[in-house]
Structure 1
Amino acid sequence: MLPLFWNPKSRKCLVVGGGDVATRKVSLLLQCGVSVSIVSPRLSRNLQEPVNRGQVAYTAREFSLSDLDGIDLVIAATDNSALNQSIAQSCKQRNILVNVVDSRDTSSVIFGSLVDRDPVQVAVSSGGASPVLARSLRSRLEAYIPAAFGELSKLVSTYRPVVKSTLHSPHERQKFWESILEGPVAELVLSGFLDDAKRMLERQLDDWRNKTVTSGEVYLVGAGPGDPDLLTFRALRLMQQADVVVYDRLVSKPILDLVRRGAEKIYAGKKSSNHTIPQEGINALLVRLAKEGKRVLRLKGGDPFIFGRGGEEIETLVDEGITFQVVPGITAASGCATYAGIPLTHRDYSQACIFVTGHQKGEGADLHWDALAKKDQTVVFYMGLSSVGIICEKMIEHGLEKHMPAALIQQGTTPEQKVVVGTLEDLPARVAAEQIQPPTLIIIGEVVRLHKTLQWFQPKPPSAP
């Protein structure tokens, strides 16, 4: 198959048939501006509407060879396979393009599944082998390609003459457009800020004209709890256009594999009392890379603004005048609890939910245990594996029953997920017996009782490869 795009202007199309299949074809043709006529003894109710509106010419009778006169494209969509084949043969003899529904061997052209971001169009075809598969792939592309992509194309079309007259080198123009389409201008368009995008494009064109070195940009992106399917579309888009990625220990390998292949990767992981790069060093690194004109992806596990120190990092960017974006991710409490079948709130068990970390800013700082040890709420402890004994002890000491349900989740949302369920009294011993490894999450509250009946995610068994 040779994929081609056909200009429908001043073209005439004949649809033979008036059923549901013909309806879908006519709808597509009308969207593309084709002049459509239908020949069929009967019409479906949906086809009658465009006929009544004068959008389609309709002849109520059986097909005749004379109907092919002056026609550029024919769609045979009757429920009579012999008639469809006869129409196809007549079209081929006259060098008329023909599409026979559900018959790729008889057709000279095949319709692809279309993603329309006017004026950008993407067509997907399986060569007629599996239209359902083509539609499935199209639905994924629909989700991945932003709705405003057409506006981005129109912006480029508008400014192409200006850019061509300003930047005389083809290579220079190519690099300029790459910076526009993979940088903050494109993000402004896709976010709906078209006027701001135009102003920024014009400023950047002035910078290129004057050979002014422009600063890069930082993308602070939440990678979620581990499952790549939980990434947001925006996160994936920015991951695909980064020049360099600075990533944490909590970013799973399958997610890191989705970063643009040519991007430089810098590990900035942290374990308790063991930081590959101190936080101040990370802040300075982001500034330096951006000032070198690079698109910097700061990729953090979970959500960057929930125990991710994202606020500290962008404070430095603000001080240095660096452009940045923040993309939220599914925080570990939400993702891991969901994959463990533990709702964080439930009308019968919990009317509040509190997220807590044992890692405080000041050494020796304590938690507000009296506020945490309440019966009708759920408490989630991030990074609490090494403190599970102290946490359970303190919750009992400050008022919770020792039989209060509690759970620890290891590497939630990934194939290595493990859930240890117990009570405040016995959870530390259960965790010790399981030889749990971080990252982990501790959930305390009556909602843990629901794990047994609501668990749905099946991680791989220990013996699986």
Structure 2
Amino acid sequence: MDFLPIFMNLKGRSCLVVGGGEVASRKASLLLDAGADLTVVAPELANTLQAWANSGRVKHREAGFEASDLEDVVLVIAATDDEAVNRQVSELAQARALPVNVVDNPSLCTFVMPSIIDRSPVQIAVSTGGVSPVLARLLRARLESLIPSAYGRLASMVEGFRDAVKGRFDDVNSRRGFWEGVLQGRVAELVFAGKDDAARRELEASIERGEVEMPGEVYLVGGGPGDPDLLTFRALRLMQQADVVVHDRLVSKEVLDLCRRDAERIYVGKERDNHSVPQDQINQLLVDLAKQGKRICRLKGGDPFVFGRGGEEIDTLTANGVSFQVVPAITAALGASSYAGIPLTHRDYSQSVVFVTGHLKDGSMNLNWKGLAQPQQTIVFYMGLKGLPVICEKLIENGLSPDLPIALVQQATTPRQRVYTGTLSTMPQIIEGTTIKPPTLIIVGDVVRLHERLNWFTSDEEAGEKQ
């Protein structure tokens, strides 16, 4: 171990930064966040430091560094662009046994500044010992995605109950087991969901019972349009901790592969006129699994509340007293349009957008065609592939131009994405006899004209066709 990682209490203690540029500003910001009483020595200051000096957040000595600047300080950072000055600061500070850091010069440092993940009071420091600060930042970014921002609130909450837990449990092992249950169970999830008061009540009840209950819970998670990079941090965390994954046909393989590997997987996908598991049975399945004390990830393509039947499922969960969370996602319309270079609204082409399902619960297409066929409006059809000829016909009948552009996007945001474009009059013939790979999305409107100009994403399939 090249360095001993420690955390210093600098609240109200005098610290010194030598240098007034932007690098010095970043280091000064960290010291201020830690509560230091900060003095900056430099002939002139960058804008940020000058604003802090003007407001009194930092003391500024407008001059070059002198040995007397080290008097009564407990920590020093040298951040000038003059190597001789930085070396002088380091040597004088070390002679006084003061911790000193010289930016970008590990050989002159007695301590290094790590990359920090701040979930105060929880803090995580990542360091490469000054060898590769960029690598430290990359590692920090990776950890940031795995650690919920609410961990700080969770830590602050449990701090207030430590004495009560000590009084309830006699030995260390019992207390450790209790806290592990709290920090990995219902209390933590309530905090992550922003329900701090409910979490506090749950923790109080657990202390009174002398144990942590681990009731089943359903996570209704939006898997997005297909690209796993579009998942939210919260979705990924819940996918990794679920005991069972109940997933749809429209969830991409890449997204499904990010679920916990040892979790049980149950496929309940649906196709038009072919529901492997009817919706009412899916609803009951979620209830039954939760009653067994399992954590279930109900993983859906797109967003669970946009033609995802999420409302039907949580209605059943609520009726049966099952706890649940809903994690929104980038819905298919947003993902498909973005990756196809088709903005859903544009000041020159469309001032409104409407999402509509291509078939209703009873299998019909009894839609408000007059309301859909409006000028300068973008229409996005979900589940409209089989009804595409009817869609085109009805929109023309209700006043839209046969020459109005239309796009069909298959497997959007994935390497298998393919975009077919045409007009209301030509699209049925364009896709006739073509094998279309679901999921698909249909976009109707003048904004489709922008596809060729604004398309930035070329899938493997489309790239292969251009070769």
TM tier, smaller: 0.7 to 0.9
Q: What is aligned with 2:266?
A: 266
Q: How far 1:68 sits from its partner (Å)? A: 5.6
Contact 1:14 1:71 in 2 (8 A): yes
Query: Where do residues 308-347 of structure 1 align in structure 2 (5 Å cutoff)?
Result: 308-347=308-347
SS in 1 for 2:296: strand
Bigger drift between 152-161 and 340-349 goes to 340-349
Bigger drift between 342-351 and 248-257 goes to 342-351
Deviations 1:293-329 (A, max 9, x none): 2222111111112221111111110111111122222
Q: What is aligned with 1:163?
A: 165
Bigger drift between 9-18 and 337-346 goes to 9-18
Q: What is aligned with 2:408?
A: 408
Q: How far 1:420 sits from its partner (Å)? A: 0.3
Gaps of at least 5 residues in structure 1 are none
Q: How far 1:163 sits from its partner (Å)? A: 2.3
Q: What is aligned with 1:462?
A: 464
Distance verdict in 2 for CA 1:61–1:409, change over 3 Å: closer
Contact 1:51 1:57 in 2 (8 A): no
Bigger drift between 240-249 and 254-263 goes to 254-263
Q: Which residue type is aligned with residue 4 of structure 1?
A: P
Deviations 1:64-108 (A, max 9, x none): 3x7667765432333331343344345556654331111123323
Bigger drift between 245-254 and 164-173 goes to 164-173
User: Could you tell me how far apart the structure 1 residues matched to 2:39 and 2:369 are?
Assistant: 76
User: Could you tell me how far apart the structure 1 residues matched to 2:182 and 2:6 are?
Assistant: 26
Q: What is aligned with 1:63?
A: 66
Q: How far 1:241 sits from its partner (Å)? A: 3.2
Q: What is aligned with 1:149?
A: 151
Q: What is aligned with 1:377?
A: 377
Query: Where do residues 443-454 of structure 1 align in structure 2 (5 Å cutoff)?
Result: 443-454=443-454
SS in 1 for 2:113: coil
Q: What is aligned with 1:357?
A: 357
Matched, 1:296 2:296: yes
Distance verdict in 2 for CA 1:176–1:373, change over 3 Å: same
Contact 2:185 2:214 in 1 (8 A): no
User: Could you tell me how far apart the structure 1 residues matched to 2:240 and 2:285 are?
Assistant: 21
Query: Where do residues 108-257 of structure 1 align in structure 2 (5 Å cutoff)?
Result: 108-132=110-134, 134-135=136-137, 138=140, 145-168=147-170, 173-209=175-211, 214-257=214-257
SS in 2 for 1:249: coil
User: Could you tell me how far apart the structure 2 residues matched to 1:56 and 1:345 are?
Assistant: 50
Q: What is aligned with 1:421?
A: 421
Query: Where do residues 81-96 of structure 1 align in structure 2 (5 Å cutoff)?
Result: 81-89=83-91, 91-92=93-94, 96=98
Q: How far 1:223 sits from its partner (Å)? A: 1.5
Q: How far 1:155 sits from its partner (Å)? A: 0.6
SS in 2 for 1:312: helix
Q: How far 1:411 sits from its partner (Å)? A: 0.6
Contact 1:251 1:300 in 2 (8 A): yes
Q: What is aligned with 1:282?
A: 282
Contact 1:248 1:267 in 2 (8 A): yes
Bigger drift between 432-441 and 33-42 goes to 33-42
Contact 2:186 2:214 in 1 (8 A): no
Contact 1:408 1:431 in 2 (8 A): no
Return the TM-score normalized by structure 1.
0.85
Q: Which residue type is aligned with residue 320 of structure 1?
A: N
User: Could you tell me how far apart the structure 1 residues matched to 2:171 and 2:288 are?
Assistant: 29
Q: How far 1:39 sits from its partner (Å)? A: 5.4
Contact 2:217 2:293 in 1 (8 A): yes
Q: What is aligned with 1:6?
A: 7
Q: What do you get for the CA RMSD once the two structures are aligned?
A: 3.4
SS in 2 for 1:402: coil
User: Could you tell me how far apart the structure 1 residues matched to 2:313 and 2:176 are?
Assistant: 32
Deviations 1:256-305 (A, max 9, x none): 23334453332222223333333222212211221122222111111112
- How many aligned positions are there? 461
SS in 2 for 1:386: coil
Distance verdict in 2 for CA 1:367–1:73, change over 3 Å: closer
Deviations 1:24-66 (A, max 9, x none): 33332233234555555666672685598486585955433x7
Contact 1:207 1:214 in 2 (8 A): no
Contact 1:219 1:324 in 2 (8 A): yes
Return the TM-score normalized by structure 2.
0.85
Distance verdict in 2 for CA 1:156–1:440, change over 3 Å: same
Contact 1:41 1:60 in 2 (8 A): yes
SS in 2 for 1:122: strand
User: Could you tell me how far apart the structure 2 residues matched to 1:310 and 1:168 are?
Assistant: 45
Distance verdict in 2 for CA 1:350–1:61, change over 3 Å: closer
SS in 2 for 1:123: strand
Contact 2:222 2:328 in 1 (8 A): yes
Contact 1:51 1:58 in 2 (8 A): no
User: Could you tell me how far apart the structure 2 residues matched to 1:229 and 1:102 are?
Assistant: 33
Distance verdict in 2 for CA 1:73–1:44, change over 3 Å: same
Distance verdict in 2 for CA 1:444–1:175, change over 3 Å: farther
Q: How far 1:406 sits from its partner (Å)? A: 1.6
Distance verdict in 2 for CA 1:416–1:33, change over 3 Å: same
SS in 1 for 2:449: helix
Distance verdict in 2 for CA 1:395–1:30, change over 3 Å: closer
Q: How far 1:379 sits from its partner (Å)? A: 2.5
SS in 1 for 2:464: coil
* Percentage of matched positions with identical amino acids: 54
User: Could you tell me how far apart the structure 1 residues matched to 2:244 and 2:96 are?
Assistant: 57
Bigger drift between 302-311 and 452-461 goes to 452-461
User: Could you tell me how far apart the structure 2 residues matched to 1:54 and 1:70 are?
Assistant: 19
